[in-house]
Structure 1
Amino acid sequence: MTAPWEEPDHKNLSNLIKKAKRKTFIRNIIISLIVTVVVLFGGFLLNIQLISSSSSQESKDEYALKNISGPNQYISGITGQDGFLSGTTEYNIYKVVEGVPIPWRTKKTVYNVFPFLPFANIGGSVNGLSLSLPDPDMIREGYEYTRSYNGLTGQRLMNFYIPDVNYNGKVLNDLSALEQMDQDKLVEMAISFDKPYSLAEVRKMIPPELTQVWYWVDTYDNRKFYDPYKDGNGNISFANPLFESWVFGFGIHLDGPQMNEKDFIASLEQGLEGKYEYEFNRIYNYLRGDKAKPSESDIRLLGVVLTGNAKELQILKGQPYVRGAVLGAIVDKY
């Protein structure tokens, strides 16, 4: 038999064990909660730091690209939305025609801290819409391509023609169209040259009453790509002009000194290791040839974007250096 006095001791021991287990359980829960909070807070701070770094690099890459592309286009504002190890950024872009701003498009980019792990975001960038519409005059004259327009604003998109490329004689010249519009209309026009020129030559030969806002640089390392070719039926296809989103060059600063060849080379060097490094390296290597780096004399211009009123731009009619002239945005002065 168990002694009477042994039963309370047994119960007390059992209670002590239960209390110890309960304390251990509560302590473990508290520790787990503290660790979870610390880990979550640390992860939150780490996510902010990683996202901030990725967002900064994304903006750097986009501004580097903008410095060598987008004729007469400027970034007016940036909005962003961060997620878990990913985010999106929207760039609002506008044009300026003789001091009049024109909302142009919005570019949306998606970035990830680890590009191979997209997490919540999948995809690339979404650009402003464009649309093509038939032009009766172009159809009548046998053009194989159509007019392009900004799908958001309805404004015309500029075309560019590479010198010596065979377009089957179908090169637009909108200078005569200027006579048919209000002479006070402010217009943007892409001028494609008959041959490459230096920046000094372009600035000298363009009439001073016209504003030179952007210069188109020769970045075409594979001219054979634009040669006519025969399809399987024996028909010959000719090159189409380049849209303004496909050309590279440099322009003026709205609030600073004009860019030059040296600035263009510096802009290329900024993008050699970024998001668009393939295109930057292709252009950089084409310009430098066998040298260590390009020089200012390697920058040859194939065209220029001008602004002015309809009357002023008509001074270009008959100029031997004008191979093509394509209207872009058109606005009123006020």
Structure 2
Amino acid sequence: MDDFREDIFDEQKIKKAIKKGKRKSIIMIVFVSVIVFVVLNAINFAAYSYFSQSAFKQWDAYIKLSTPNGYISETVDTKGILGGESQFKVSKNMKIKSLVIEQKQYKFGVLPSLSYSRIAGNSIGFTGEDWQVTYKENGWRNLLFFHPDVTYQEYKHDEDLINQMQGEQIYEVALSFDKPYKQRELPLYELPTITWFWINTYSDSQLKTFQEKARKNDWSSTFIRENEALGFSVNYSIYSTIKLDNEYEDFLNLLQTSFYHEHHRAYDFMKDVDAKDVEILGIVVYGTKEELTNIIQQPFIKAVSLGGVINNY
């Protein structure tokens, strides 16, 4: 008992006990903080990875659907809190090589990071005297399409422009047909190695809207823009006897995966259409002037729209 009383009134021992208690408290606080930090970072990383992968799939589907032979070639993600931001490059397969055509960004997650961008540009062909052509970041023209079930006041004919160009170059050309064709009905027995098929995903109400615009608006603005035409690519020689079942199935999956509501609408319109009954409204082909001449001059080609041009090497 006397020893106990001495301990109680021993100032040095009291200070040591207090210090020991503080050390234990600090160690416990640090330990708990580290555990909380690790757990929260693990949760944040898991959420970031999930949202990042989900957003990439949606944007990859969107790019593949809205950019003929286009795809995301590179992404750089910045992690935020339960989300982040992705900077990505869009490339296009131009038969002999792929080139970056645009750089874009998207945000993802519950609390995506904040960022600001500034874009400067000018309007080209908006006078009503020429086609209202728009351009990609790398300077290539966006392709123009003309639905065969719509009567337009004017049709794009870039074959003269192609013929005026000098040198051996590879041209990207969108060809709109005179009527919808099923794959087995295509008037071309063989198509180039890389061919993008423009698929008829338009409802009757959409066609009616197109027809009204073509009738009421200036001819220079009445067409279907590249990002509004949906289709899929085939990277091998196409013959009229070959079936496109696998490519069409992948196309439907992309329509479901894309974040864009118009792609979901197109899926609802196409989901019950069998591959053999799919209507092809046009194609995008790649080749030299000589390789494309025979196709462009066919009577079933209603419009010709020039897109990208690269040197043939």
Same fold (TM over 0.5): yes
* Distance in 2 of aligned mates of 1:214 and 1:240: 22
Q: What residue is the counterpart of 1:156 in the other structure?
A: 141
Q: Give, in angstroms, the shift of residue 130 of structure 1.
A: 7.8
Q: What residue is the counterpart of 2:75 in the other structure?
A: 78
Give the aligned length. 300
Matches within 5 A, 1:172-187: 172-182=156-166, 184-187=168-171
Q: What residue is the counterpart of 1:236 in the other structure?
A: 216
- The residue identity in structure 1 corresponding to 2:292 is L
What secondary structure, in the 3-state scheme, does the structure 2 residue paired with 1:149 have?
coil
Cα distance, 1:332–1:129 mapped onto 2, change above 3 Å: farther
TM-score with structure 1 length normalisation?
A: 0.77
RMSD over aligned Cα atoms: 3.3
Percent identity over paired residues: 25
Q: What residue is the counterpart of 2:239 in the other structure?
A: none
Matches within 5 A, 1:1-334: 12=9, 19-112=16-109, 114=110, 117-118=111-112, 120-121=113-114, 132-134=123-125, 139=129, 143=130, 145-150=131-136, 152-167=137-152, 169-182=153-166, 184-202=168-186, 205=188, 208=191, 210-221=192-203, 222-228=206-212, 236-237=216-217, 240-253=222-235, 260-269=244-253, 272=256, 274=257, 276=259, 278-288=261-271, 293-334=272-313
What secondary structure, in the 3-state scheme, does the structure 2 residue paired with 1:80 have?
strand
CA contact (8 A) 2:62 2:260 kept: no
CA contact (8 A) 1:189 1:307 kept: yes
Cα distance, 1:328–1:159 mapped onto 2, change above 3 Å: same
* Distance in 2 of aligned mates of 1:244 and 1:130: 19
Q: Give, in angstroms, the shift of residue 13 of structure 1.
A: 6.1
For the pair shown, which has the larger CA radius of gyration, 1 or 2? 1
Q: Give, in angstroms, the shift of residue 279 of structure 1.
A: 3.2
CA contact (8 A) 2:62 2:258 kept: no
Cα distance, 1:73–1:236 mapped onto 2, change above 3 Å: same
- The residue identity in structure 2 corresponding to 1:134 is G
Q: Give, in angstroms, the shift of residue 261 of structure 1.
A: 4.1
* Distance in 1 of aligned mates of 2:265 and 2:141: 29
Cα distance, 1:261–1:11 mapped onto 2, change above 3 Å: closer
CA contact (8 A) 1:253 1:259 kept: no
**Which 5+ residue runs of structure 2 have no aligned equivalent?**
237-241
CA contact (8 A) 1:214 1:304 kept: yes
